[in-house]
């Protein structure tokens, strides 16, 4: 049973089997969000996903970076990512057309950022999430 289904722009339906959400800047005690901090955050969440979900490739959807009218400091201008980071295990039909559809599926671990802690669903999911090139990124596996 999946948590939700997302319809990609390509028309493929993918099932969200597992979802982890956390605050993008949770635990940030000092400093301010800037490019350097955000780049470290992206690298860290990707490494965490690769370690936790080694059975499938990991894809990071490039997050929207905003530059509010706030004064920066020694690390440059303020740069803010959406407030919720999500890591999802997605599954779908096999990518390779010659594989038996009953015995094979495809999987992809996807990391994306969103402004609120909502589960993506249907055709209403974030366009950046729906635009991922599943056929290029996912890996087929046998059940």
Give the pLDDT band (50/70/90) at residue 140. very high
Instruction: Note the pLDDT tens digit of each residue in 40-55.
Output: 999 999 999 999 999 9
Q: In the numeric block, which tokens belong to residue 117?
A: 């802690």
CA distances from 90 to 35, 67, 80, 122, 125 (A): 29, 31, 27, 13, 14
pLDDT of residue 30: 81
pLDDT of residue 92: 97
Instruction: Note the pLDDT tens digit of each residue in 83-135.
Output: 999 999 999 999 999 999 899 999 999 999 999 999 999 888 888 899 999 99
Contact 129, 5 (CB under 8 A): no
pLDDT of residue 75: 85
75 or 52, which is more confident? 52
Instruction: Note the pLDDT tens digit of each residue in 8-25.
Output: 999 999 999 999 999 999
Please enumerate in sequence order all residues whose Cβ is within 8 A of that of 138, keeping only pairs 6 or more positions apart, or say none: 56, 57, 90, 92, 95, 106, 107, 108
Report how many helices (DSSP H) and strands (DSSP E) the chain contains, helices first: 3, 6
DSSP string, 50-107: HHHTTTS-EEEPPPP-B--S---BTTBSB-B--SEEEEEEEEEE-SSTTS-TTTEEEE
């Amino acid at each position: 049973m999946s948590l939700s289904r997302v319809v990609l722009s390509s028309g493929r339906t993918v099932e969200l089997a597992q979802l982890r959400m956390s605050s993008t800047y949770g635990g940030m005690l000092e400093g301010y969000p800037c490019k350097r901090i955000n780049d470290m955050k992206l690298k860290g969440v990707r490494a965490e996903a690769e370690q936790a979900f080694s059975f499938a490739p990991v894809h990071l959807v490039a997050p929207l970076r905003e530059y509010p009218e706030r004064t920066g400091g020694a690390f440059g201008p303020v740069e803010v990512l959406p407030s919720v980071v999500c890591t999802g295990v997605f599954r779908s039909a096999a990518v390779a057309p010659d594989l038996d559809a009953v015995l094979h599926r495809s999987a992809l671990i996807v990391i994306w950022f969103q402004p609120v802690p909502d589960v993506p669903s249907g055709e209403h999911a974030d366009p950046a999430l729906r635009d991922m090139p599943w056929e290029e990124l996912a890996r087929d596996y046998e059940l």
